Amino acid sequence: MAFILPDLPFSKDALGSHMSAETLDFHHGKHHRAYVDKTNELLAEQELEGASLVEVIRRAGDGGERALFNNSAQLWNHSFFWQCLAAPDGQCPTGRLAELIDDSFGTTDSMLAALKEEAVGHFSNGWAWLVLDGGKLSITSLHDSDTPVVHEGMKPLLTLDVWEHAYYIDYRNARPDYVEGVLSNIVNWEFVAQNLDGQGISRADQSA
Ligand code: FE
């Protein structure tokens, strides 16, 4: 048994010009797949049957196994990221999610502005996150492969991949245009709202 590349939860052309089928071919089909393959390769000698991806990430982090941590964490981060996206349909946060956003940021627009600023300002590779921390929403970013899976109390709601491989085809080097295009148009707010139950980490987990 081994870890697998999860299917995209939408068709390759569903995100329109905000994230093209060609980007998804590379980002999901090559980059994400490479993290899956490398994780499996690094685990080839180990008895994996039934182990969860989250357990592997935490064990690799605790044990200082950098290559295994980087690849397995990226496997999880991307598996979570795809679920955060949906076809552009004028969607916006509603219900309890909208209330929590208003409590922490004033308005959805203010929250989005803060998340965009974090994503654009994050130096080099990494991920911008909207998280639930102690019952409140907050915005942060993590470097390289780092992941909420290994941060106690950080419950992931929404992420945006700001590695250059996420935008070089559709946006060249223009990270601000990518951030704007995705966060203003193709966020799956229903998935974000689901994660208010604190179980977001399990939604991108899998068993080998
Ligand atoms: Fe990526």
Which tokens in the block code for residue 118?
């974090």
Q: What is the Å distance from ligand 1's center to 51 Cα?
A: 24
Under a CB-based contact definition with an 8 Å cutoff, are residues 193 and 93 in contact?
Answer: yes
How far CA 150 is from CA of 56, 142, 158, in Å, comes to 11, 11, 16
The pLDDT, as a whole number, for residue 208 is: 87
Q: Is residue 149 part of a domain?
A: yes
Q: Is residue 6 part of a domain?
A: no
Among 190, 194, 198, 196, CA closest to 92? 190
**Sign (positive/negative) of CA torsion 181, 121, 106, 204?**
positive
In this predicted structure, the answer to whether residue 7 has a pLDDT above a threshold of 90 is yes
Q: Is residue 2 part of a domain?
A: no
Read off the pLDDT of residues 74-100 as tens digits, 9 standing for 90 and up: 999 999 999 999 999 999 999 999 999
**Sign (positive/negative) of CA torsion 144, 13, 185, 135?**
negative
Return d(Cα 95, Cα 204) in angstroms, integer: 24
Residues with CB under 5 A from ligand 1 (ion): 161, 163, 166
Read off the pLDDT of residues 180-201 as tens digits, 9 standing for 90 and up: 999 999 999 999 999 999 999 9
Q: What is the Å distance from ligand 1's center to 149 Cα?
A: 17
Q: What is the Å distance from ligand 1's center to 31 Cα?
A: 7
Q: What is the Å distance from ligand 1's center to 102 Cα?
A: 30
Q: What is the Å distance from ligand 1's center to 135 Cα?
A: 28
The pLDDT, as a whole number, for residue 39 is: 97
Reduced to 3 states (helix: H, G, I; strand: E, B; else coil), residue 137 is strand
Q: What is the Å distance from ligand 1's center to 23 Cα?
A: 10
The pLDDT, as a whole number, for residue 135 is: 86
Give me the domain span that covers residue 57. Answer: 17-201
Q: What is the Å distance from ligand 1's center to 113 Cα?
A: 22
Return d(Cα 50, Cα 8) in angstroms, integer: 23
The percentage of residues in the chain with a pLDDT greater than 90, rounded to a whole number, is 94
Q: Is residue 66 part of a domain?
A: yes
Read off the pLDDT of residues 171-182 as tens digits, 9 standing for 90 and up: 999 999 999 999
Q: Is residue 138 part of a domain?
A: yes
The pLDDT, as a whole number, for residue 197 is: 97
Kindly report the average pLDDT of the chain as a whole number.
96
Residue with tokens 């008895």: 47
Count of domains for the chain: 1
Under a CB-based contact definition with an 8 Å cutoff, are residues 98 and 110 in contact?
Answer: no
Secondary structure letter of residue 91 according to DSSP: -
Q: Is residue 10 part of a domain?
A: no
Q: How crowded is residue 55: how many other Cβ atoms within 10 Å of its Cβ?
A: 15
The pLDDT, as a whole number, for residue 50 is: 81
Q: What is the Å distance from ligand 1's center to 196 Cα?
A: 24
Q: Is residue 12 part of a domain?
A: no
Give me the CATH number covering residue 25: 3.55.40.20
Q: Is residue 22 part of a domain?
A: yes
Q: What is the Å distance from ligand 1's center to 128 Cα?
A: 12
Q: What is the Å distance from ligand 1's center to 145 Cα?
A: 9
- Give the number of residues written for the chain: 208
Q: What is the Å distance from ligand 1's center to 175 Cα?
A: 13
Q: What is the Å distance from ligand 1's center to 35 Cα?
A: 10
